[in-house]
Structure 1
Amino acid sequence: MSDNSSFGSTVKFGHNVKTLFRWTGSTYRLVWKEFIIYTMAYIGLSIVYDFALDDDGKKGFEDISAYCSKYTSSLPIILLLGFFTSTSMQRWFSLVHSMPGTTRVIASFVMSIKEGQPEGYQIVEQYSRWIVLGWALTFRLICKPLKRVFPTLVSLENAGLLLPHERLQLESEIASNHPIVVVQWNLALLKRCNRQGMFMDFSDYQRNQDNLMTFKKSCGDTIKFAAKNIPFALIQAVTITVYSYGLASLMARQLTDEHTPTSFTIRYFPVLNAFQYFLYYLWLQFGRLAAYPFSDDENDIDIKRLLQAHVDDAVRWQSLYSSPGLTEQIVSHSLHNSSHEWMVNSFTLVRSKVWLKLIRLNQKNLACPKAQRGLISEPLANGNNQESALM
């Protein structure tokens, strides 16, 4: 038992060390340039103080250093950073939860269309394409990397997400209304399918309509959260505060006598000053990343990869209607050759774990004083009732 625990502790320690020295997506990648600039400026000021100033200059330098020290202690930097970061993270969570998904709305439509319809595959393909198109048009409004991939509606047409006559109609609308227009196309397609009796059940029309309106609401919420960004004045105020603290901390350093053991370290290695400042700087960077998560940074949401994933999912759901033979063969073969050994093995595993727990409880019961044996529940404390407790 102790060997297993020590092995688990070793693995956990190794994982923590690996995480600590990871470069991709790390805090080191966010601050390494600024850290080099800060260190060079700090050492440069130390060289100026030690070798370029006379006694009167050093006296003035020390006065400025003392003034900067009082200035840094009076800044409400923690209050501003806390408010800014909490606001950014709340907005980030709201934005992530409001992001639309395509799987539910496409899968519900595919599974509700009757098989063998004359235009069944074309309708399923068009419905799925319009859902993915609405998703792409939504994030094209708020995501600059996706905007660079599809700068115009012609680029969407070249990618196969848009047809020429559809592009002409979208060009007559403003860009912010493009996702709504595509949803209207799908609503008209649902009405046509209902009029032609293509749904398996009379309730499928209403259910698909509800899913489509939920998709529309998610697209609208995503645009709303991205458009109503955090006020620029707040970001500017926090940025000025952090950078002014960093500039002041270059001078607000403790000047020691030349013969103290730590004088060289304090003058030429800004360990404590840099550590405190870059904690604030990282806090600011996290707030900025959360305020706009659709950029090109590796910590941002990869919208281009998400779009490709939605396209792949749509193609798979279309194949479930167009060529269901392979899937039906797998289901039929599994039904006729089903194995229940997994159930027996799982029950045996659970039963063995329960017995081990009962044995340990009985061992604790034997080790307990007589006055404390009543604390153990009766079915588990009584060895004759172990089978009834298991059941």
Structure 2
Amino acid sequence: MSVSYVSDISEGSGFFIVLKLIARWKGSLYKLVWLDLVVYLIIYYLINLLYRFALNSAQKETFHMIVAYCDDISTQLPVSFVLGFFVSGVIGRWFQTFMFIPWLNEITYSVMAAVNCADTRVSRKIRLSVMRYLNLAWILAMRRISDRIAERFSQQHKPKGGNTKDDDDCICRGRNEIWSVSQVSTWHTIIYKLRLVFTRSKS
């Protein structure tokens, strides 16, 4: 999951805000590449020290030939062309994955437009109940995809987070234990939502 830095730039402006963001460690580029950079520097200085203090003249000539050969090979390979295909493939797959994530925006607007009766308090209560079950279904579906979401919204944390009640939580565990199908806990909350809408529409 992404790291938010809005709190760091909400109060202030100018050049020092940029320095403050650069100095961040959590979610920064330094945290991502520091290990690779350390390994690269260690290998580089080992080769440098080996060339300067451990090789004789003949071995240095052989080392120069190897370096020249590697430089000639690197100019023949279209590295930028290959990296362009790689980056485009990775970005394309990431964008397709992002587009397949179900969002609740459109269905929220539909619920706001459809659930509208004379009593505004009843309408608001129905809309909140419907969206609560839809939000729970979304969380249960995302728990099967993302480990971070599974840790954040575990079976014990759901009642504490206010996304479900204790009786709903018991129903979720009971159905999983009886049928042993992980998809059940995802779609049965939508069935409860539809039942609520049908019951309210008849009344």
- Normalised by the length of structure 2, the TM-score is 0.68
Please give the alpha-carbon distance, in whole angstroms, between the structure 1 residues aligned to 2:52 and 2:186: 65
Instruction: Determine which structure has greater relative contact order: mean sequence separation of CA pairs < 8 Å that are 6+ residues apart, divided by chain length.
Output: 1
Q: What stretches of structure 1 of length at least 5 have no aligned partner?
A: 1-13, 197-391
The structural deviation recorded for 1:28 is: 4.3
Q: Residue type matched to 1:42 in 2?
A: Y
Give the equivalent residue in structure 2 for 1:126.
129
Counterparts in 2 of 1:103-182, with a 5 A limit?
Answer: 103-106=105-108, 108-110=110-112, 112-116=115-119, 123-151=126-154, 153-162=155-164, 163=168, 164-171=170-177, 172=179, 174-182=181-189
Aligned to 2:163, the other structure's residue is in SS state coil
Residue 100 of structure 1: aligned partner:
102
- 1:175 is paired with a residue of what secondary structure? coil
* Separation in 2, partners of 1:175, 1:167: 10
Matched residues in 2 for 1:23 and 1:79: separation?
Answer: 34
CA contact (8 A) 2:175 2:185 kept: no
Asked whether the equivalents of residues 131 and 183 of structure 1 are also in contact (C-alpha less than 8 Å), the reply is yes
1:195 equivalent among 189, 193, 202: 202
Instruction: Give the C-alpha shift of residue 52 in structure 1.
Output: 1.0
Structure 1 position 145, deviation (Å): 1.0
Amino acid at match of 1:149: R
Q: Compared with structure 1, are the counterparts of its residues 81 and 177 closer, same or farther at alpha carbon in structure 2 (3 Å cutoff)?
A: farther
Shift of 1:87: 2.0
Distance in 1 separating the partners of 2:49 and 2:103: 58
- Aligned residue identity for 1:169: R
Is the 2:133–2:193 contact (alpha carbons within 8 Å) kept by the matching residues of 1?
A: yes
Deviation string, structure 1 residues 36-91 (Cα, Å, up to 9, x no partner): 33223222212111111112322332232223223333444323321221122223
Structure 1 pair 121/35, CA: closer, same or farther in 2 (3 Å)?
A: closer
**Amino acid aligned to 1:39:** L
Superposition pairs of residues 1-391 of structure 1, within 5 angstroms:
18=18, 22-24=22-24, 25-106=27-108, 108-110=110-112, 112-116=115-119, 123-151=126-154, 153-162=155-164, 163=168, 164-171=170-177, 172=179, 174-196=181-203
Shift of 1:17: 10
The superposition leaves residues 105-161 of structure 1 with CA deviations (integer Å, 9 ceiling, x where unpaired) of 34543562424499766644432210110111122122111111234x344345443
State the Cα distance separating 1:32 from its structure 2 match: 3.4
Q: What is the CA deviation profile of residues 313-351 of structure 1, one whole-angstrom value per residue up to 9, with x for unaligned ones?
A: xxxxxxxxxxxxxxxxxxxxxxxxxxxxxxxxxxxxxxx
Residues paired across the two proteins, number: 183
Q: Cα gap change, 1:58/1:18 in structure 2, threshold over 3 Å: closer, same or farther?
A: same
- Quote the Cα distance in structure 1 between the aligned partners of 2:156 and 2:33: 40
1:275-314 Cα offsets, whole Å, 9 max, x none, are xxxxxxxxxxxxxxxxxxxxxxxxxxxxxxxxxxxxxxxx
For each residue in 1:254-288, what CA deviation from the matched residue of structure 2 results, as whole angstroms up to 9, or x when unmatched?
xxxxxxxxxxxxxxxxxxxxxxxxxxxxxxxxxxx
RMSD: 3.6
Unaligned runs of 5+ in 2: 1-13
Instruction: State the identity %.
Output: 24
SS in structure 2 of the partner of residue 131 of structure 1 = helix
CA distance in 2, matches of 1:100, 1:124: 19
2: distance between equivalents of 1:143 and 1:36? 30
Q: Distance in 2 between matches of 1:62 and 1:37?
A: 23
User: What is the DSSP-based 3-state SS (H/G/I as helix, E as strand, rest coil) of the residue aligned with 1:142?
Assistant: coil
TM-score, normalised with respect to structure 1: 0.39
